[in-house]
Amino acid sequence: MTEEIVDVMTREVGMNVSDFASFDVNDAETDLQGEFKVSEVEVNDSPNESYFDATRVYLNELGKSQLLTADEEKFYGKRALRGDEEARKVMIESNLRLVVKISRRYLNRGLPLLDLIEEGNLGLIRAVEKFDPDRGFRFSTYATWWIRQTIERAIMNQTRTIRLPIHIVKEMNVYLKAQRSLTQQLDHEPTAEEIADYLDKPVKTVSKMLKLNERVTSVDVPGGKDFEKPLVDSISDDHSPSPTDILQENGIKDNITHWVHQLSEKQREVICRRYGLCGYGNSTLEQVAQELGVTRERVRQIQMDALKRLKEILEVGGYSFESIFH
C-alpha cells in the first residue's frame, strides 16, 4: 500500500490510517470473472422468495458484464473525471461485480444482499466521480474503500432505531473491526478490556461505543424459540391512552391528512403508501417502487424530498416532526 493512496483515502473517504492494516490490495484487485451464484446464506438472508429471484436475476445479468483492462480503465477513468457520461457509465457497469463481492462479506448483519449491493453501488458511483488514474493505483483498490464506507454506514443507520452521527459511525467501525479481529485471534468474543488494550483506548470509551452498537429488539418478534407470541403480548399495559390522548391523536391524524395534501402528487403518493396514510397500508420501498413502476432509489429520493417539505410545514405549525414521522 503506497503512502499516496493512504493519504487519498484518509483525506477523501475519511478513513483512519489504522484501517489499512487489515486491507489486502491483492484482494481488491482479484480477477472477478468467476461465475455468480446465490448461496444458501443469501437465500436465508432474503425476506421472501421473490426477493431471492430478483437477487438471482441481478447476479446472472451481472455475470455478462466485461471487466476493463488497466489501459481501458485509465482511458475511461480520465474521461469520466472530465464529466463524460458515457465513460462514467462504462466505469460503473464494469465494476458492479466488485460491489457484489464486497457486499457478500456483510451478510447477516441486518441488511439483505440486494440492499447491501444498492448501498455499495452508491459508493461505487462516488468512487468513479473522484477517481484519478494518474495517481498510479488501480480503480478497484480506490473503489473498495468507498464501497465499504457506504455499506458500513448503511448497516449502522438502517438496522437501528436511533440514527447516529457520521463521525460516531466511523469511530464505532474502528471498535467493531477490532472486535472481529480479536474474536479470530482469541477464539472467543473479546471483552471491553481486551479491545481497549488492543486499541490503546480507555475501557470506559470502548464500553460506551459497544453499548451504542447494541440493537433494539422489536416487540413484534417472538419472545424466543419456546414462545410463539410476540414480546408485545407479554408486556403489561400500564399506560393505556386516556380519552384525552385518543382525541388528541385523532386531531393529529386530521392534521396529517391536511399536511400531506400540501405535497406534490408524487410526494403524496409515496408518503401515503410508506406510512399507511390515505387509506393505504404500510409498504416497503421495494413494494412502493413496484406499485409505482419506478426504482427503489427514485422512491427513496421522493420520500426524502417529501419528508423535508413536511418538516417545514410542521415546524411552522409548532409541531415536532420527529414525534409524528419517526
For residue range 256-268, list pLDDT tens digits in order.
777 788 888 888 8
Distance separating alpha carbons of residues 50 and 2, to the nearest angstrom: 44
Inform me whether the pLDDT recorded for 26 exceeds 70.
no
3 state SS for 252-264 = HHHHHHHHHCCCC
Q: What is the pLDDT of residues 72-96, one digit of tens each?
A: 999 999 999 998 999 999 999 999 9
DSSP 293: T
Among the ranges given (246-255, 271-280, 298-307), the one the predictor scored with the smallest mean pLDDT: 246-255
* Count of CA atoms in the C-beta half-sphere (13 A) of 262: 13
Q: Are residues 258 and 199 in the same domain?
A: no
Residue 279 maps to which CATH number?
A: 1.10.10.10
Inform me whether the pLDDT recorded for 37 exceeds 80.
no
More confident residue, 3 or 321: 321
State residue 237's pLDDT score: 45
Question: What separation in angstroms does the CA of 309 have from each of 24, 267, 313, 314?
Answer: 44, 9, 6, 9
Query: Based on the number of CB atoms within 10 Å of its own CB, is 216 exposed (0-12), middle (13-18) or buried (19 or more)?
Result: exposed
More confident residue, 236 or 49: 49
In a domain, 115, yes or no: yes
Q: Are residues 60 and 182 in the same domain?
A: no
Inform me whether the pLDDT recorded for 58 exceeds 80.
no
Distance separating alpha carbons of residues 60 and 37, to the nearest angstrom: 8
Q: Is residue 120 within a helix (H) or strand (E), and if so which, with residue range?
A: helix 113-130
Inform me whether the pLDDT recorded for 51 exceeds 70.
no
Among the ranges given (93-107, 147-161, 263-277, 293-307), the one the predictor scored with the smallest mean pLDDT: 147-161
Q: Are residues 227 and 199 in the same domain?
A: yes
DSSP 225: T
3 state SS for 23-75 = CCHHHHCCCCCCCCCCCHHHHHHCCCHHHHHHHHHHHHHHCCCCCCCHHHHHH
Q: Are residues 192 and 70 in the same domain?
A: no
Inform me whether the pLDDT recorded for 242 exceeds 80.
no
* Mean pLDDT of the region 137-166: 77
More confident residue, 44 or 53: 53
The residue among 143, 158, 173 that closes a domain is 158
Residue 26's DSSP bridge partners are: none
Distance separating alpha carbons of residues 112 and 107, to the nearest angstrom: 7
Q: Tell whether the torsion through CA atoms of 52, 58, 64 and 65 is positive or negative.
A: negative
Q: What is the pLDDT of residues 190-241, one digit of tens each?
A: 888 889 888 888 888 888 887 776 544 444 444 444 444 444 444 444 444 4
DSSP 227: E
- Minimal CA–CA distance to 106: which of 154, 171, 146, 168? 154
Q: Report helix, strand or coil for 133.
A: helix
* Cβ contact 185:194 at 8 Å: no
Inform me whether the pLDDT recorded for 34 exceeds 60.
no
- Looking at the structure of the chain, the number of domains it has is 3
State residue 213's pLDDT score: 65
State residue 146's pLDDT score: 87
DSSP 228: E
The residue among 112, 130, 158 that closes a domain is 158
In a domain, 240, yes or no: no
The residue among 213, 235, 257 that closes a domain is 235
Expressed as residue numbers, the domain containing 290 is 248-324
| pTM of the predicted model as reported, rounded to 2 decimal places | 0.43
Q: Are residues 31 and 138 in the same domain?
A: yes
Distance separating alpha carbons of residues 101 and 305, to the nearest angstrom: 32
State residue 142's pLDDT score: 84
Q: Are residues 14 and 146 in the same domain?
A: yes
Q: Are residues 111 and 8 in the same domain?
A: yes
* Cβ contact 17:154 at 8 Å: no
State residue 33's pLDDT score: 43
Q: Are residues 142 and 219 in the same domain?
A: no
In a domain, 242, yes or no: no
Inform me whether the pLDDT recorded for 68 exceeds 80.
yes
Distance separating alpha carbons of residues 98 and 30, to the nearest angstrom: 9
In a domain, 67, yes or no: yes
Mean pLDDT estimate for the chain: 72
Q: Are residues 150 and 167 in the same domain?
A: no
Inform me whether the pLDDT recorded for 52 exceeds 90.
no
In a domain, 243, yes or no: no
Distance separating alpha carbons of residues 182 and 323, to the nearest angstrom: 40
Q: Are residues 197 and 98 in the same domain?
A: no
H helix and E strand count, the chain: 17, 2
Q: Are residues 137 and 262 in the same domain?
A: no
Q: What is the pLDDT of residues 130-140, one digit of tens each?
A: 888 888 878 88
Q: Are residues 112 and 18 in the same domain?
A: yes
State residue 234's pLDDT score: 43
Residue 151 maps to which CATH number?
A: 1.20.120.1810
